[in-house]
Protein backbone atom coordinates (compact mmCIF):
# COMPACT_ATOMS: atom_id res chain seq x y z
CA UNK A 1 0.00 0.00 0.00
CA UNK A 2 1.27 3.44 -0.95
CA UNK A 3 0.61 6.22 1.52
CA UNK A 4 1.71 9.76 0.67
CA UNK A 5 2.53 12.26 3.41
CA UNK A 6 1.96 15.92 2.54
CA UNK A 7 3.96 18.06 4.98
CA UNK A 8 1.67 21.07 4.56
CA UNK A 9 -1.31 18.89 5.39
CA UNK A 10 0.49 17.34 8.36
CA UNK A 11 1.25 20.85 9.69
CA UNK A 12 -2.27 22.18 9.06
CA UNK A 13 -3.31 21.16 12.58
CA UNK A 14 -1.13 21.93 15.61
CA UNK A 15 1.10 18.95 16.46
CA UNK A 16 0.68 16.93 19.64
CA UNK A 17 2.68 17.91 22.67
CA UNK A 18 5.42 15.56 23.83
CA UNK A 19 3.19 14.23 26.59
CA UNK A 20 0.25 13.71 24.21
CA UNK A 21 2.46 11.91 21.70
CA UNK A 22 3.93 9.68 24.40
CA UNK A 23 0.43 8.82 25.66
CA UNK A 24 -0.69 7.94 22.12
CA UNK A 25 2.36 5.74 21.63
CA UNK A 26 1.68 3.87 24.87
CA UNK A 27 -1.95 3.39 23.85
CA UNK A 28 -1.05 1.99 20.43
CA UNK A 29 1.53 -0.36 21.89
CA UNK A 30 -0.97 -1.63 24.46
CA UNK A 31 -4.17 -1.76 22.40
CA UNK A 32 -3.11 -1.60 18.77
CA UNK A 33 -4.38 0.88 16.19
CA UNK A 34 -8.15 0.67 16.56
CA UNK A 35 -9.10 3.71 14.41
CA UNK A 36 -8.58 3.53 10.66
CA UNK A 37 -6.33 6.08 8.96
CA UNK A 38 -8.29 8.35 6.60
CA UNK A 39 -7.04 8.61 3.03
CA UNK A 40 -7.91 10.65 -0.05
CA UNK A 41 -6.55 8.43 -2.74
CA UNK A 42 -2.98 7.78 -1.60
CA UNK A 43 -2.84 10.99 0.46
CA UNK A 44 -2.97 10.61 4.23
CA UNK A 45 -5.54 13.01 5.68
CA UNK A 46 -6.00 11.90 9.29
CA UNK A 47 -3.73 9.77 11.44
CA UNK A 48 -0.23 11.13 10.80
CA UNK A 49 0.93 10.45 14.35
CA UNK A 50 -0.63 7.00 14.44
CA UNK A 51 0.90 6.15 11.08
CA UNK A 52 4.38 7.18 12.24
CA UNK A 53 4.13 5.20 15.47
CA UNK A 54 2.73 2.13 13.69
CA UNK A 55 5.57 2.26 11.17
CA UNK A 56 8.13 2.57 13.96
CA UNK A 57 6.81 -0.40 15.97
CA UNK A 58 5.36 -2.42 13.06
CA UNK A 59 1.84 -2.20 14.45
CA UNK A 60 -0.88 -3.27 11.99
CA UNK A 61 -3.38 -0.61 10.97
CA UNK A 62 -6.41 -0.20 8.71
CA UNK A 63 -7.24 2.57 6.25
CA UNK A 64 -10.44 4.02 4.85
CA UNK A 65 -11.15 6.21 1.86
CA UNK A 66 -13.19 9.39 2.16
CA UNK A 67 -14.94 9.71 -1.18
CA UNK A 68 -16.60 13.03 -0.37
CA UNK A 69 -13.45 15.08 -0.97
CA UNK A 70 -13.43 17.01 -4.24
CA UNK A 71 -10.59 19.43 -3.49
CA UNK A 72 -7.90 20.20 -0.93
CA UNK A 73 -10.28 22.77 0.57
CA UNK A 74 -12.72 19.91 1.26
CA UNK A 75 -9.90 18.12 3.04
CA UNK A 76 -9.08 21.21 5.10
CA UNK A 77 -12.73 21.70 6.09
CA UNK A 78 -13.03 18.04 7.12
CA UNK A 79 -9.85 18.29 9.21
CA UNK A 80 -11.11 21.48 10.87
CA UNK A 81 -14.52 20.02 11.72
CA UNK A 82 -12.91 16.81 12.94
CA UNK A 83 -10.65 18.67 15.37
CA UNK A 84 -13.28 21.17 16.48
CA UNK A 85 -15.24 18.24 17.86
CA UNK A 86 -12.41 17.01 20.07
CA UNK A 87 -12.53 17.86 23.78
CA UNK A 88 -8.76 18.16 24.10
CA UNK A 89 -8.60 21.16 21.74
CA UNK A 90 -8.06 24.45 23.61
CA UNK A 91 -10.15 27.60 23.18
CA UNK A 92 -7.30 29.25 21.29
CA UNK A 93 -6.93 26.30 18.91
CA UNK A 94 -10.69 26.17 18.30
CA UNK A 95 -10.71 29.89 17.54
CA UNK A 96 -7.87 29.54 15.05
CA UNK A 97 -9.55 26.59 13.36
CA UNK A 98 -12.92 28.37 13.17
CA UNK A 99 -11.25 31.43 11.62
CA UNK A 100 -9.59 29.17 9.03
CA UNK A 101 -12.97 27.66 8.22
CA UNK A 102 -14.41 31.16 7.82
CA UNK A 103 -11.70 32.02 5.26
CA UNK A 104 -12.45 28.91 3.19
CA UNK A 105 -16.23 29.35 3.33
CA UNK A 106 -15.99 33.09 2.58
CA UNK A 107 -13.74 32.43 -0.42
CA UNK A 108 -16.18 29.87 -1.77
CA UNK A 109 -19.11 32.23 -1.28
CA UNK A 110 -17.28 35.00 -3.10
CA UNK A 111 -16.41 32.65 -5.96
CA UNK A 112 -20.03 31.53 -6.19
CA UNK A 113 -21.20 35.13 -6.30
CA UNK A 114 -18.86 35.91 -9.16
CA UNK A 115 -19.90 32.87 -11.20
CA UNK A 116 -23.65 33.14 -10.56
CA UNK A 117 -25.85 36.10 -11.36
CA UNK A 118 -27.56 37.35 -8.23
CA UNK A 119 -31.28 38.19 -8.59
CA UNK A 120 -32.20 41.69 -7.51
CA UNK A 121 -33.26 42.04 -3.90
CA UNK A 122 -31.56 38.87 -2.66
CA UNK A 123 -28.61 38.48 -0.33
CA UNK A 124 -25.69 37.23 -2.41
CA UNK A 125 -23.67 36.26 0.64
CA UNK A 126 -26.17 33.52 1.52
CA UNK A 127 -26.36 31.87 -1.92
CA UNK A 128 -23.26 29.68 -1.84
CA UNK A 129 -24.68 26.16 -1.56
CA UNK A 130 -27.20 27.44 0.96
CA UNK A 131 -24.36 28.36 3.34
CA UNK A 132 -25.37 31.32 5.54
CA UNK A 133 -22.95 34.24 5.83
CA UNK A 134 -20.26 33.65 8.42
CA UNK A 135 -20.68 36.50 10.86
CA UNK A 136 -18.38 36.97 13.85
CA UNK A 137 -21.10 35.50 16.07
CA UNK A 138 -21.36 32.41 13.85
CA UNK A 139 -17.60 31.86 13.94
CA UNK A 140 -17.56 32.33 17.71
CA UNK A 141 -20.34 29.75 18.13
CA UNK A 142 -18.39 27.30 15.99
CA UNK A 143 -15.31 27.81 18.16
CA UNK A 144 -17.43 27.71 21.36
CA UNK A 145 -15.96 31.00 22.56
CA UNK A 146 -17.39 34.50 23.01
CA UNK A 147 -17.20 37.12 20.27
CA UNK A 148 -14.82 39.11 22.48
CA UNK A 149 -12.50 36.12 22.87
CA UNK A 150 -12.60 35.49 19.13
CA UNK A 151 -11.56 39.12 18.55
CA UNK A 152 -8.64 38.61 20.95
CA UNK A 153 -7.58 35.47 19.07
CA UNK A 154 -7.63 37.42 15.81
CA UNK A 155 -5.47 40.12 17.38
CA UNK A 156 -2.99 37.53 18.64
CA UNK A 157 -2.77 36.00 15.17
CA UNK A 158 -2.13 39.38 13.55
CA UNK A 159 0.20 41.11 16.01
CA UNK A 160 1.68 38.58 18.44
CA UNK A 161 5.30 37.48 18.13
CA UNK A 162 5.76 33.74 17.49
CA UNK A 163 7.08 33.34 21.03
CA UNK A 164 3.88 34.85 22.46
CA UNK A 165 1.71 32.61 20.26
CA UNK A 166 3.67 29.64 21.57
CA UNK A 167 3.05 30.79 25.15
CA UNK A 168 -0.71 30.90 24.50
CA UNK A 169 -0.70 27.45 22.92
CA UNK A 170 1.23 25.99 25.85
CA UNK A 171 -1.11 27.57 28.40
CA UNK A 172 1.60 29.81 29.87
CA UNK A 173 -0.63 32.85 29.35
CA UNK A 174 -4.37 33.28 28.85
CA UNK A 175 -5.95 34.53 25.62
CA UNK A 176 -7.08 37.73 27.34
CA UNK A 177 -3.63 38.54 28.71
CA UNK A 178 -1.89 37.57 25.46
CA UNK A 179 -4.11 39.95 23.50
CA UNK A 180 -3.00 42.75 25.82
CA UNK A 181 0.70 41.85 25.56
CA UNK A 182 0.32 41.62 21.76
CA UNK A 183 -0.17 45.41 21.79
CA UNK A 184 3.48 45.83 22.76
CA UNK A 185 6.40 45.98 20.29
CA UNK A 186 7.66 42.57 19.24
CA UNK A 187 10.90 42.79 21.23
CA UNK A 188 8.97 43.55 24.43
CA UNK A 189 6.67 40.61 23.78
CA UNK A 190 9.66 38.30 23.40
CA UNK A 191 11.24 39.67 26.58
CA UNK A 192 8.00 39.13 28.52
CA UNK A 193 7.77 35.52 27.33
CA UNK A 194 11.40 34.94 28.29
CA UNK A 195 10.60 36.26 31.79
CA UNK A 196 8.00 33.57 32.33
CA UNK A 197 4.43 33.60 33.61
CA UNK A 198 4.97 36.34 36.22
CA UNK A 199 6.55 38.72 33.70
CA UNK A 200 3.77 38.06 31.20
CA UNK A 201 1.07 38.85 33.76
CA UNK A 202 2.85 42.05 34.76
CA UNK A 203 3.17 43.13 31.12
CA UNK A 204 -0.53 42.48 30.52
CA UNK A 205 -1.48 44.44 33.65
CA UNK A 206 0.67 47.40 32.61
CA UNK A 207 -0.96 47.48 29.16
CA UNK A 208 -4.44 47.42 30.71
CA UNK A 209 -3.62 50.16 33.19
CA UNK A 210 -2.10 52.31 30.45
CA UNK A 211 -5.46 52.21 28.67
CA UNK A 212 -7.20 53.91 31.57
CA UNK A 213 -8.16 57.48 30.54
CA UNK A 214 -6.11 60.29 32.14
CA UNK A 215 -7.84 62.76 34.43
CA UNK A 216 -8.78 65.85 32.41
CA UNK A 217 -7.75 69.23 33.77
CA UNK A 218 -10.60 71.37 35.04
CA UNK A 219 -10.94 75.03 34.08
CA UNK A 220 -10.59 77.41 37.06
CA UNK A 221 -13.58 79.57 38.07
CA UNK A 222 -13.76 83.07 36.58
CA UNK A 223 -11.72 85.75 38.36
CA UNK A 224 -14.85 87.72 39.29
CA UNK A 225 -16.70 84.70 40.69
CA UNK A 226 -18.54 85.14 43.96
CA UNK A 227 -17.74 82.90 46.96
CA UNK A 228 -20.92 80.93 46.28
CA UNK A 229 -19.90 80.38 42.64
CA UNK A 230 -16.42 79.32 43.73
CA UNK A 231 -17.91 76.80 46.16
CA UNK A 232 -20.29 75.46 43.50
CA UNK A 233 -17.36 75.13 41.07
CA UNK A 234 -15.36 73.25 43.71
CA UNK A 235 -18.21 70.85 44.43
CA UNK A 236 -18.85 70.21 40.72
CA UNK A 237 -15.16 69.54 40.20
CA UNK A 238 -15.21 67.12 43.12
CA UNK A 239 -18.19 65.27 41.63
CA UNK A 240 -16.37 64.92 38.30
CA UNK A 241 -13.23 63.62 40.01
CA UNK A 242 -15.18 61.13 42.12
CA UNK A 243 -17.06 59.89 39.06
CA UNK A 244 -13.81 59.39 37.16
CA UNK A 245 -12.23 57.67 40.14
CA UNK A 246 -15.24 55.35 40.39
CA UNK A 247 -14.99 54.42 36.68
CA UNK A 248 -11.25 53.78 36.96
CA UNK A 249 -11.76 51.64 40.06
CA UNK A 250 -14.35 49.59 38.17
CA UNK A 251 -11.85 48.92 35.40
CA UNK A 252 -9.13 48.05 37.91
CA UNK A 253 -11.49 45.59 39.60
CA UNK A 254 -12.16 43.99 36.21
CA UNK A 255 -8.42 43.72 35.53
CA UNK A 256 -7.74 42.30 38.98
CA UNK A 257 -10.55 39.78 38.54
CA UNK A 258 -8.99 38.65 35.28
CA UNK A 259 -5.54 38.45 36.86
CA UNK A 260 -6.92 36.45 39.81
CA UNK A 261 -8.63 33.99 37.45
CA UNK A 262 -5.39 33.60 35.51
CA UNK A 263 -3.42 33.04 38.70
CA UNK A 264 -5.87 30.39 39.91
CA UNK A 265 -5.84 28.60 36.55
CA UNK A 266 -2.06 28.41 36.72
CA UNK A 267 -2.01 26.73 40.12
Provide the pLDDT for residue 247. 73
- Calculate the average pLDDT of the chain: 84
- Does the residue 174 lie in any domain? yes
Residue 35: which pLDDT band, with cuts at 50, 70 and 90?
Answer: very high
Q: Do 194 and 184 belong together in one domain?
A: yes
Distance CA 182, CA 21 (A): 30
Count the neighbouring beta carbons within 10 Å of the beta carbon of residue 227: 7
Q: Do 144 and 167 belong together in one domain?
A: no
Q: Does residue 124 have a pLDDT over 50? A: no
Provide the pLDDT for residue 226. 82
- Ranked by mean pLDDT, the top range of 104-113, 180-189, 245-254 is 180-189
- Structural domain harbouring 1: 1-67
Q: Which residues of 28-37 are buried (b: 16+ CB within 10 A; e: fewer)?
A: beeeebeeeb
The average pLDDT across 45-66 equals 95
Percent of the chain with pLDDT over 70: 85
- Does the residue 118 lie in any domain? no
Percent of the chain with pLDDT over 90: 50
- Does the residue 234 lie in any domain? no
Q: Do 90 and 149 belong together in one domain?
A: yes
Name the strands in the sheet holding 43-46, side by side, starting at the edge strand that comes first in the sequence.
Answer: 43-46, 37-40, 63-65
Q: Do 5 and 46 belong together in one domain?
A: yes
User: Quick one: angle between helices 227-265 and 197-210, nearest 10?
Assistant: 160
Q: Does residue 126 have a pLDDT over 50? A: no
Provide the pLDDT for residue 261. 62
Overall number of domains in the chain:
3
The average pLDDT across 134-139 equals 84
- More confident position, 217 or 109: 109
| Last-in-domain residue among 159, 193, 227 | 159
Q: Do 61 and 97 belong together in one domain?
A: no
pTM of the model: 0.71
Q: What is the pLDDT of residues 232-260, one digit of tens each?
A: 877 887 787 777 778 777 766 766 676 56
Q: Do 26 and 101 belong together in one domain?
A: no
- Does the residue 137 lie in any domain? yes
Amino acid sequence: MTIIINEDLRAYIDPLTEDEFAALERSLLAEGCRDALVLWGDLLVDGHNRYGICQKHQIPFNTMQNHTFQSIEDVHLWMIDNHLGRRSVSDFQRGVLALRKKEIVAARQEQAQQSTATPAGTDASAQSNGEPPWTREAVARTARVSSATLGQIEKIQKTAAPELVGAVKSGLISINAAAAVASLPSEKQVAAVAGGKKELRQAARQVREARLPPKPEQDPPPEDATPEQIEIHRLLQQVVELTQERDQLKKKVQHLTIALAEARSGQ
